[in-house]
């Protein structure tokens, strides 16, 4: 496998720090590049930046938050030198995997699932992207604890400055952190994730999360989006 093929290889990791699962998967390399170019052009174009500005929706302190236009969801995926559909198709496939992992963890078998009026093996018939946005953060920016709308949400990273990667003094600088429940003995209720370019995390939209501030130069660029879906045989 060539280095370029390896960058586009699909990787999935299920995190289960507490009740709800968090599924990590990778953004294909060509999508990272295309969406970063898109983010750079918006930031550099004052008219476009104002048109797509979502700062009225901000609950934290970040330098820029822009709506992602619908056409970006049809960015073609290059996977192992094969045209594998759009980024939206790719994410829909991940929604399928998330749901099946979740239901398997609860019911173990299709027979048990059927007894509870559901199915592990059903695929989604449609995925809707309710909204999506790109966030540019600089030193000192943060996002306080909040939740999203929809069924499943995602947060991923397109650009991570060295000031986050190499900050050993402040362990959680620029981290994405999830919260579930309250602090008690024998209970883990927080789970922090260090940003890395190309990693994206899928989680229930109601799961509380926040972003730590960081120090130093550079831009931390993330994408977020909320989805709903329909399932059928």
Q: Hey, what domains does the chain have and what are their CATH numbers?
A: 3-232 (2.60.120.10)
Residue of 108, 132, 73, 95 whose CA lies nearest to 230:
95
| Mean pLDDT calculated for residue range 42-61 | 87
> Please, which pLDDT band fits residue 165 given cuts at 50, 70 and 90?
confident
Q: Quote the pLDDT of residue 4.
A: 46
Q: Quote the pLDDT of residue 201.
A: 98
- H-type alpha helices, 15-86: 29-44, 46-51
DSSP state of 76: E
Question: For residue 222, what are the β-bridge partners?
Answer: 135, 157
> Please, which pLDDT band fits residue 168 given cuts at 50, 70 and 90?
low
Contacts 24+ apart (CB under 8 A), 167-173: 167/214, 167/215, 167/216, 170/214, 170/215, 172/212, 173/212, 173/213, 173/214, 173/215
For 45, 61, 87, the CA distances from 58, given in Å and listed in that order, are 21, 7, 26
- H-type alpha helices, the chain: 3-7, 29-44, 46-51, 87-107, 110-115, 162-165
Phi, psi (degrees; rounded to nearest 5) at 198: 95, -10
| Mean pLDDT calculated for residue range 14-41 | 95
pTM beyond cutoff 0.85? yes
> Are 32 and 158 spatial neighbours (Cβ–Cβ below 8 Å)?
yes
Residue 83 has pLDDT above 70, yes or no: no
Q: Quote the pLDDT of residue 3.
A: 43
For 203-222, what is each residue's pLDDT tens digit? Answer: 999 999 999 999 889 999 99
């Amino acid at each position: 496998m060539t280095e370029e093929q390896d960058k586009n290889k699909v990787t999935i990791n299920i995190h289960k720090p507490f009740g709800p699962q968090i599924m990590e998967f990778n953004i294909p390399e060509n999508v990272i590049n295309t969406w970063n170019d898109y983010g750079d052009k918006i930031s550099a174009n004052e008219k476009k930046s104002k048109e797509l500005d979502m700062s009225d929706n901000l609950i934290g302190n970040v330098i820029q938050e822009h709506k992602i236009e619908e056409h970006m969801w049809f960015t073609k995926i290059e996977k192992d030198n094969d045209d594998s559909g759009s980024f939206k198709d790719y994410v829909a496939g991940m929604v399928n995997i998330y749901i099946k992992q979740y239901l398997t963890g609860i019911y173990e078998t299709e027979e048990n699932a059927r007894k509870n009026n559901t199915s592990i093996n059903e695929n989604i018939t449609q995925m809707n992207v309710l909204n999506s946005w790109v966030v540019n953060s600089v030193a000192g920016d943060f996002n306080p604890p909040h939740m999203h709308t929809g069924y499943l949400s995602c947060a991923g990273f397109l650009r991570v400055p060295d000031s986050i990667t190499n900050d050993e003094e402040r362990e959680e600088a620029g981290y994405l952190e999830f919260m579930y429940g309250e602090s008690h003995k024998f209970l883990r209720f927080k789970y922090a994730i260090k940003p890395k370019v190309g990693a994206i995390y899928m989680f229930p939209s109601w799961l509380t999360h926040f972003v730590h501030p960081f120090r130093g130069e550079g831009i931390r660029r993330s994408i977020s989006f909320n989805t709903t879906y329909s399932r059928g045989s």
